[in-house]
Structure 1
Amino acid sequence: MKKKGFFSLLLMLALSLVLAACGGGTSDGGDESGGDEGSGDSGEKQFVSILTGGNQGTYYPLGGTFATVINDNVDNVDANATSSGASVENMKKLADKDGEIAFVQTDIAAYAAEGKLMFEDNQIDNVQAIGSLYPETIQIVTTKDSGIESVEDLKGKTVSIGAPGSGTRANAENILEIHGMSVDDIDAQNLDFGESTSGIQDGNIDAAFITSGTPTGAVEGLAATTDVNIVPVAEEKINELKEKYPYYAQDSIKSGTYGLESEVTTVAVQAMLVTHKDLSEDLVYNMTKAIYENTDAISHSKGEFITADSALEGVGIDLHPGAKKYFDEKGISKE
């Protein structure tokens, strides 16, 4: 009897395994390959790569802070910051889904959406906005001993206009144009922020255009060993620039920054976050909410400028539905 009971038990066990196998499917009943990218329906961890900029700019350390905020406040997400060539490169990578979130200048995002300038043959229509962050100041950096006191003084000088694929070059071209010049009037060098300031320190570069939130790490490093001068942009030229290119705004660099003895007037664009339109509404909503409702956890000086109330200023491309849902709940809309 004992033997018969043992075999009956084995038979029941085998039958239960067969029935379980016939049930098939995933544990949550969903299609393993279906749904939007990053929908999170399966409960599996979503990896989020944040495309930033060079290691010595503002994007990279701020991106690291955003990754921490997202990881601490959004379930099933593993976010990390990745160094890159900044705005132009970020738009192209994001369009190719080589990343989930990216930092970009508002002007560069507009060029990409409209298929203008560096995007003339590569219009990007699958990248949408999360929100703007803070002013990105155009800083024309040189030394006190260089003799360069105005934009016109750059003529004939060796000047870095930013890394290939960055938005800094477009800013340099716009500012030179307003002053009746072009990149042909200078010995243009395509260097990132760190290379630019190292070149100034070594005497190989006379000046550099750097578009970044102030204070910028690379310029602070230069100021630690060299007396720095920031070339001002005259107010009448700022007005001309704003009239022709509305995404610019007047800005200033406070005295004391980089050891400056007085405030310097210049211009700025906005830094913003963008994402791929195929990322799920829920994921983008949760990440947008995490960033704009935890600004006190942003361990970077630019955190003081980042608010939900100002997040749609300067945004010239469509909002991602997830971001729009968050701002609609807050009663915030684009002007």
Structure 2
Amino acid sequence: MKKIIGSVFAVIVLIFLTACGGNETQQETKDTTASNYPVTIGNYSKAEGATEWQKKEQTFKKMPERVLVNTRPAAELMLRLGLDKQIAGVGATFGIADELVAKQFDQLNHLGDSYISKEVALSVDPDMIYGRGSLFENEEWGNGTVDSINEMGIPTYVVETSIPGATFNSVYKDIENLGQIFNVPDEAEKFTKELKERQAKLNKKVADIKKEQTFAYLHMNEPTEVLVYSAYGESFFNDAFATIKLNNAFKDIKGDVSIETLIETDPDVLIVPDWSTYKDGVKKEDMIRAILENKKLASMKAIKNKQVYAVDYNYMFGYGYQSLTGMELLATELYGK
């Protein structure tokens, strides 16, 4: 468990450094030689050792048939578009499931419950590698840089949501792009409509909440440990919480945030990760209880008001539509509706 969570935290620290569908019939939609190919999509690349993403187009000569997906949330998006047969393998399978596609996900080729290496990624002979941007690195936990993969003749797609400056609305661009890459525009449009309706409902739910509250995220895997993660540069993460009137108290701080600074800043709400669905993971109730009973934090208003909540890692750092579910659940806990 510590190994998995350690690599998880290493990658989220690195992340801040780090456009048309046709009208074919359903049968034609699944045809890999459909007349709408080749398809060229605007995307991104980051050179090895660089800190800035650059724009880079990706061309798909036909529908990808063997896709390596580097995280669970990215795989679940493909499943929501009916693309289970196109997934050759998925890494980083940890986290809470989208119950609507849980059965399909369980039947996929799982390559590991942690982040996978380039060697493992290539072992499934992919004709596309797709997923979270921070994992496109030539590291033991990375599936290789975009350029190194492209040099092997394999196109890539880095999800828009994982690029600096992203917001939840970036999810819709990812859905649109996947709809083009896999020639499933109708499925993409349908899922976009579903998410936008849910987003509008959530916005309405919190519209009468006049006062924004501040929060701090404590990235912990042991109840006795208190580690503040500022989420500097994590625009998707910060935007998700902002949708339910929570403002990250440390989003402008680059680097470590001490416990003393946490106590002095005294945010209204404390968020801890929910590891309940992880092997050997600490139950969320135990994590919350440990924070509430931590004597060092006793003076904080979040403790006094029992404003400590647990959120699944993939709802926060999965860079996908799943964060909407996380915010819906959290809004209910926060506001009782």
Query: What's the TM-score, normalizing by structure 2?
Result: 0.31
Instruction: Report which of the two structures shows the higher radius of gyration computed on alpha carbons.
Output: 1
Greater RCO, CA 8 A, separation 6+? 1
Query: What's the TM-score, normalizing by structure 1?
Result: 0.31
